[in-house]
Chains A and B, each alone.
Chain A
Amino acid sequence: KQEVTQIPAALSVPEGENLVLNCSFTDSAIYNLQWFRQDPGKGLTSLLLIQSSQREQTSGRLNASLDKSSGRSTLYIAASQPGDSATYLCAVRSTGNQFYFGTGTSLTVIP
């Protein structure tokens, strides 16, 4: 069974810093990996989806990478802002239609 781990569980950085969030998974047989942000009391907002054949995806200040062979993905956030404060979740789609989520990294950006 796929297991997804996100470390650290919480991260606090001053505004303007670049930061990296980590996601690891145990089974490399995946279709894709998706990064989400979750704000308190809200659902999940999709940030980036990386297909298994891709190495990275970029959207604005966000860059996600995927190393399938080592079971790792990173989400890079450039020039962090207080509005980036949220919980960030990664999810892998294993073969078939099942999805497995990590427990998230809670990010606080201090003004």
Chain B
Amino acid sequence: EAQVTQNPRYLITVTGKKLTVTCSQNMNHEYMSWYRQDPGLGLRQIYYSMNVEVTDKGDVPEGYKVSRKEKRNFPLILESPSPNQTSLYFCASRQGGSNQPQHFGDGTRLSIL
């Protein structure tokens, strides 16, 4: 089954403790992206990747890191999480080309205390 898988689905942690949210897709998609969703603000793009070793900032990259060492994986790293990064996070992927739809994971609900 074609899917985008995020782990963990839920995480409660404390300020300053480094964490990684993993994202994996099995559709051989070139493009992957991370979003955060906050009430009243909608989904905002954090980082995206066009292919292996090619990443770029989205609208709200501050406090986040990403890497793309393999085509299927695109982890989101919070080196020193803060409470304002408490949010619902989504990973998405799509085939290359101008007009391919994005496919989303089920989300990771992150709480930073």
Which residues of A pack against B, CB within 8 Å?
1, 4, 31-32, 34, 36, 41-46, 49, 51, 89, 91, 97-104
Contacts and interface: CB of A to CB of B under 8 A. Distances in A.
Contacts of A102: 42
Contact of A34 (B33, B50, B102, B105): B102
- With most chain B CB atoms within 10 A of its CB, the pick from A1, A51, A99 is A99
B99 A49 contact: yes
B12 interface: no
A97 B58 CA distance: 9
Chain B interface, >50% SS class? strand
Interface of B: 4, 31, 33, 35, 40-45, 48, 50, 56, 58-59, 90, 92, 98-99, 101-107
Contacts of B103: 46
Contacts of B40: 103
A42 B50 contact: no
B43 A98 contact: no
25 contacts: A31-B98, A34-B102, A36-B104, A41-B106, A41-B107, A42-B107, A43-B4, A43-B104, A43-B105, A44-B92, A46-B101, A46-B102, A46-B103, A51-B98, A89-B42, A91-B102, A97-B31, A97-B33, A97-B56, A99-B45, A100-B45, A100-B59, A103-B40, A103-B41, A104-B42
